Amino acid sequence: MKVKVIPVLEDNYMYLVIEEHTREAVAVDVAVPKRLLEIVGREGVSLTTVLTTHHHWDHARGNTELARLLPGLVVLGADERICALTRRLVHGEELRFGAIHVRCLLTPGHTSGHMSYFLWEDECLDPPAVFSGDALSVAGCGSRLETTAQQMYHSLVETLGTLPPETKVFCGHEHTLGNLEFAQKVEPCNNHVKAKLSWAKKRDEDDVPTVPSTLGEELLYNPFLRVASPQDELKPSQLRPPQPGGVRAPLGLWAHGEVPAGGGTSGPLQRGVQVSTGLKSPLLAGGPESHLYVGPNVPTSHPAFWGYALGSRATSLLETPHAFLGVPVLAVLGRVDP
């Protein structure tokens, strides 16, 4: 199985997956069809199928033109909003292209119909691969736009996070530098984050893609997968001390902010709580039966608190620095079991 990484648009990736014995090819997330066809011609392969992770224009807009240029092309995905879709896939469905197997993994979070694709090849020593679109990226994940935080937690931690650690991760965007800068704010003493950030800066200077990573690597530095990490993985010396007016994260990390003086409260939140950050990414906090501890004078009974926690006021906070009830949030990470 050969994977061609194709950078397009501002920071997107398309992929061409080639079965090297039959010379059949499958494309993932076609945004610029003419660029894809140039590489198909150069490789001398027959493109038969498109796998689309989700319906957003930068992942699916090329499907219609490509289908016009290649009559009989099969366009697959899990969302009826995908351009030129010929058949809708379901979670757990398996496809086959020569020796290449594809398992379809529904990973809602970024969109309700987001599908990731886990590929492996018969009698091949090469590691498997997952094409994760905007569900999982190198050191990060896509913003939650359409589903609940618990669904997103399940997609990241329980569906993608349990794939074999050697699995190569091919994501939809080149967001690695920004993701790692955020991860460093979350875990400033994580040496894996520091090393990966240094490596990514060099790749950026050389204008070279940072994909693929591996799932095993992601579990070391991606905060969105590490929300399920055992608490004893962080030593006391790695934890930030309490800060006045802060939001305490279950793993001992702290989000700093100014709030009025007064008494504080804490209480259980719905599973898979999402909290906004003052950086460029939303962050999942918690897991099953988790608690979030809030600083002075921010009662958990406040309607805005519960509205946000339960997702009824969920919005995309990806582009605008935000605060949680007036408290600028730097990091909320982890799990507390009562």
As annotated, the active-site residues are: 54, 56, 58-59, 110, 134, 173
Question: Residue 41's CB: how many other CB atoms inside 10 A?
Answer: 10
Answer yes or no: are the C-beta atoms of 126 and 169 closer than 8 Å: no
C-alpha 169/C-alpha 167 separation (Å) is 6
C-alpha 89/C-alpha 78 separation (Å) is 5
Our separate counts of H helices and E strands in the chain read 8, 20
Which 8-state DSSP code applies to residue 219?
H
What are the CB-based long-range contacts (under 8 Å, 24+) for 3-7?
Answer: 3/129, 3/168, 3/170, 3/212, 4/39, 4/43, 5/170, 5/209, 5/211, 5/212, 6/35, 6/36, 6/39, 7/174, 7/209
Answer yes or no: are the C-beta atoms of 321 and 278 closer than 8 Å: yes
